[in-house]
Amino acid sequence: MRELGIGLIGTGFMGRAHALAFNNARAVFELPVHLKLAALADADTERAQRCAKDWGFAQAHSDWQALINDPNVDVVAITTPNHLHYPMAMAAIAAGKAVYCEKPLAVSLEQADAMRRAASTAGVVTRVGYNYQHNPMITLARQMIASGELGEIISFQGEFSEDFMADPASPWSWRCEVEHAGGALADLGSHLLSMARYLVGDVVSVCADTQTVHARRPVVKGSAQLKPIAVDDQVHALLRFANGARGTVSSSWLKQGYKNHLSFEISGTRGTLAFDQERLNELQVCRVGQDGFQRLLAGPALPGYAAFSPAAGHQLGYNELKTLEVQELILALAGQGADGTDFEAAWEVERLATAIRVAAKEERWVHVEEV
């Protein structure tokens, strides 16, 4: 069996999620290749060495370029702050290596465009971390829509809100920088836009409004020194889809009480389905003739679920979705699948997000093809 060397850049929350996913994928799936956790990189040498040991990586690097140059690395997983995605991905592509990058793809549409073009020219496999789409219940929703069970799709109403920035005393971080693709739209809303495109299709035009509610935040926690904030705290947009459906999306990181509220309702001429990531093992469906919604519960009959649990109602979680995303990546690398969000699809998400920002700034409807 062919060996595939994994190189991981970054050791924060998302780096750990990737490490867990690669380890879990080896344990629960019969993969067509053997995964070797070849190398891990972090600018903090001590942390890189500690995490490599704890997470099962053979080598630690304090320089990410050294990881990309490592001959044992075939796949480069990027889990760093957004502004580092571009240089790291471009270097990996130039080295002929597959790239698994967290979202958003880049800090500008120009960078995202260069990344997708470079990947296409090099012919390398790329994937972007829109892991919520790998939920078996989302797969079921997509199948129901594609089969016509809901009839002609006429509307999408989506929201992704959390409350981790609700406190105005929450300090500044790189997520508050425009240059780092900060703001609720990039941090949360990109997931929602990707989901809307995945389930309903291309968006042709948008109208939007964005708002910065807390214009200043402490430089560090507890500091009296405040730093100006220019990114959006919340965004609301109207969408027109290529298939004629209409939609709304909203995103906020100020919404008290919500921890992972990626939710949507999709309505067709013969029914409606509803989903909320905070109840990720459930899908609500109402078909013509029903007086209300029916709850569909995830179970082993759905592809992907049975690898983790043999019984319905036992629940998948965030890390299982990440593991399913890694499985799809490995299958693509083995030439056995084409699912998942590659750099081309991720560029489309970035183009849609850019159109929303332009629409909000210029207070008009914007055709996505304009940007």
Global confidence as pTM: 0.96
Alpha-helical regions (H) of 101-227: 109-122, 136-146, 184, 190-199
Question: Topology of 132-312+341-370 in CATH?
Answer: Dihydrodipicolinate Reductase; domain 2 (3.30.360)
Tokens in use for 166? Answer: 């609700």
Tokens in use for 1? Answer: 């069996």
Helices (H) and strands (E) in the chain, counts: 10, 17
Question: Topology of 3-131 in CATH?
Answer: Rossmann fold (3.40.50)
Residue with tokens 């990737």: 18
Q: How many CA atoms lie within 13 A of 319 on its CB side?
A: 14
| Distance (Å, whole) CA 142 – CA 151 | 13
Q: Taking 80 as the threshold, does the pLDDT of residue 291 lie above it?
A: yes
Domain ranges of the chain: 3-131, 132-312+341-370
**In the structure, what pLDDT confidence band is assigned to residue 288 with cuts at 50, 70 and 90?**
very high
**141-185, pLDDT tens digit by residue?**
999 999 999 999 999 999 999 999 999 999 999 999 988 888 999
Percentage of the residues of the chain whose pLDDT score is greater than 90? 97
Q: What is the pLDDT of residue 112?
A: 98
